[in-house]
């Protein structure tokens, strides 16, 4: 008998597919870095692991000066209330990204706190639900999208409240502090464009829509493959201010997208596609994740990024209800959001920080490529997770009709 359609499960599966795509993208980036430094891959070791051992940061390049592993920001000490004993079971997304987390703060937390970190891979909200329902909680803290936290929250009591008395809240804005999760990995969707096609720099989303001044094929996200279209960009292009985007009128959003539909060479479904299309000149302007743009820039492609009116999103840590080591999980989450912890991860991968004080620990060159650079934060908007939790299904349903019109 066929199971009834479950929109919550479908959204969760789509989010997991998106995360897997991002991790594969990052692993490809680190492999290319290794090859550019003359290394060889060996069986049983990820590219990122070898890069770390070689002292090469994941987003180093010939054009951009970045520190070696030994030059990462160092911990002088940690607050006494973050120390303890026992263990904490941490679940992240594996691959190059988890290698970066290990070097940035898993190992330092274990050494400085006295709490052993036990790692696993592959967070899955359906598994969290099953573990809590059966009382057999196997993870203490998991990396999720905030939408997944909220979706489970709507179904019952599945998460421990975050104890913000342990955190550096003076430097972590309230928008990054949800009751049942804490933000930990900001990334941006930016405009990428070819400098050999346009002498003038596009200033924002209106120029992405502008075929008179900036003619040529575009690429932006579609509504399939676990991706949702960037309806927000259409509103910005048509005069809506960043602080007035939400709530969005879905039909109006698709009207705006209809304006550029004839010029879109491809609506992308995976993070690697827009950067590759820009590199191959299949598109001359794209919406893309900042990490992918950084990668093609590092390879020497004639590409620049416009951060104005970019979208900032983030991953979070959540603690399943009834976790055996919930207290240690709280300490772990507080530790990895310290300024030094956040700065160390940003040195290793081109994603941002939720702790404002981490910027002082990075060079201008580092900040130039991070979505949470103080200069960039002022000109971006933050993706409204609450709105997308409530409206994602309607947006995707309308997409399936609109794409055939």
Query: Burial, 62: exposed, middle or buried (Cβ in 10 Å; 0-12, 13-18, 19+)?
Result: exposed
- Per the model's pLDDT, the better-predicted residue between 58 and 151 turns out to be 151
Arithmetic mean of pLDDT, 34-47 = 40
In a domain, 358, yes or no: yes
How many Å apart are CA 79 and CA 233, to the nearest integer?
42
* pLDDT at residue 69 greater than cutoff 80: no
In a domain, 131, yes or no: yes
Claim to verify: residue 307 and residue 390 sit in the same structural domain: yes
* pLDDT at residue 275 greater than cutoff 50: yes
In a domain, 2, yes or no: no
Tens-place pLDDT, residues 323-337: 999 999 999 999 999
Tens-place pLDDT, residues 198-227: 989 999 999 999 999 999 999 999 988 667
399 token code pair: 């997409």
* pLDDT at residue 41 greater than cutoff 90: no
- 301 falls in which pLDDT band (50, 70, 90)? very high
Arithmetic mean of pLDDT, 248-274 = 94
Claim to verify: residue 196 and residue 149 sit in the same structural domain: no
- Per the model's pLDDT, the better-predicted residue between 17 and 365 turns out to be 365
- Per the model's pLDDT, the better-predicted residue between 256 and 44 turns out to be 256
pLDDT score, position 38:
40
Tens-place pLDDT, residues 353-368: 999 999 899 888 888 7
In a domain, 3, yes or no: no
Q: Checking phi first, is residue 2 left (phi over 0); if not, alpha (psi -120 to 50) or beta? A: beta
* pLDDT at residue 53 greater than cutoff 80: no
- Per the model's pLDDT, the better-predicted residue between 338 and 389 turns out to be 338
Arithmetic mean of pLDDT, 48-61 = 38
Claim to verify: residue 109 and residue 214 sit in the same structural domain: no
Q: Quick check: 285 and 193 in contact, CB under 8 A?
A: yes
Claim to verify: residue 232 and residue 326 sit in the same structural domain: no
In a domain, 88, yes or no: yes
pLDDT score, position 55:
37
* pLDDT at residue 282 greater than cutoff 90: yes
User: Worst-scoring range by mean pLDDT, 93-107, 155-169, 280-294?
Assistant: 93-107
Q: Give me the residue label for tokens 């949702």.
A: 228
pLDDT score, position 225:
67
Claim to verify: residue 221 and residue 366 sit in the same structural domain: no
How many Å apart are CA 389 and CA 234, to the nearest integer?
20
pLDDT score, position 378:
93
Claim to verify: residue 247 and residue 351 sit in the same structural domain: no
pLDDT score, position 45:
40
Backbone Cα Rg of the chain:
21
pLDDT score, position 7:
45
**57 three-state secondary structure:** coil
In a domain, 217, yes or no: yes
Range of the domain at 295: 188-313+384-402
Residue 259 maps to which CATH number? Answer: 3.40.190.10
User: Worst-scoring range by mean pLDDT, 14-18, 99-103, 400-404?
Assistant: 14-18
In a domain, 1, yes or no: no
Claim to verify: residue 16 and residue 141 sit in the same structural domain: yes
Claim to verify: residue 336 and residue 397 sit in the same structural domain: no
Claim to verify: residue 81 and residue 68 sit in the same structural domain: yes
Q: Quick check: 348 and 103 in contact, CB under 8 A?
A: yes
Domains: count for the chain? 2
Q: Quick check: 304 and 374 in contact, CB under 8 A?
A: no
Claim to verify: residue 195 and residue 326 sit in the same structural domain: no
- 284 falls in which pLDDT band (50, 70, 90)? very high
When mean pLDDT is compared over 33-47, 59-73, 246-260, the highest value belongs to: 246-260
């Amino acid at each position: 008998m066929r199971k009834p359609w479950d929109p919550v499960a479908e959204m969760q599966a789509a989010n997991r597919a998106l995360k897997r795509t991002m991790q594969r993208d990052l692993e490809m980036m680190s492999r290319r870095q290794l090859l550019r430094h003359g290394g060889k891959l060996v069986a049983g070791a990820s590219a990122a692991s070898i890069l770390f051992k070689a002292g090469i940061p994941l987003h180093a390049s010939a054009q951009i000066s970045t520190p070696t592993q030994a030059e990462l920001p160092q911990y002088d000490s940690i607050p006494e209330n973050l120390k303890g004993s026992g263990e904490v079971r941490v679940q992240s997304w594996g691959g190059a990204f988890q290698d970066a987390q290990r070097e940035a703060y898993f190992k330092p937390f274990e050494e400085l706190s006295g709490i052993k970190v036990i790692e696993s891979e592959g967070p899955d909200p359906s598994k969290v639900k099953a573990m809590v329902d059966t009382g057999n909680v196997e993870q203490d803290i998991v990396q999720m999208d905030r939408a997944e936290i909220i979706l489970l929250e709507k179904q019952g009591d599945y998460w421990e409240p975050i104890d913000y008395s342990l955190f550096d809240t003076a430097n972590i804005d309230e928008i990054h502090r949800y009751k049942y999760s804490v933000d930990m990995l900001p990334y941006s969707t930016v405009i990428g464009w070819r400098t050999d096609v346009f002498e003038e720099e596009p200033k924002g989303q209106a120029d992405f829509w502008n075929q008179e001044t900036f003619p040529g094929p575009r690429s932006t996200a579609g509504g399939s493959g676990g991706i949702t279209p960037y309806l927000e960009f259409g509103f910005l292009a048509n005069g809506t201010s960043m602080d007035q985007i939400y709530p969005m009128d879905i039909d109006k959003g698709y009207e705006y997208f209809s304006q550029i539909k004839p010029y879109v060479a491809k609506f992308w479904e995976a993070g690697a596609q827009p950067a590759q299309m820009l590199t191959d000149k299949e598109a001359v302007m794209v919406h893309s994740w900042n990490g992918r743009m950084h990668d093609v820039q590092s390879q020497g492609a004639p590409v620049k990024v416009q951060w104005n009116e970019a979208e900032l999103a983030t991953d979070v840590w959540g603690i399943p209800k009834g976790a055996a080591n919930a207290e240690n999980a709280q300490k772990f989450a507080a530790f990895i959001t310290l300024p030094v912890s956040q700065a160390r991860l940003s040195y290793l991968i081109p994603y941002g920080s939720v702790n404002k004080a981490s910027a002082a620990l990075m060079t201008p060159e580092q900040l130039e490529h991070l979505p949470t650079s103080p200069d960039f934060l002022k000109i971006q908007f933050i993706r409204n997770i609450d709105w997308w939790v409530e409206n994602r299904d309607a947006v995707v349903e309308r997409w399936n009709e609109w794409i055939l019109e």
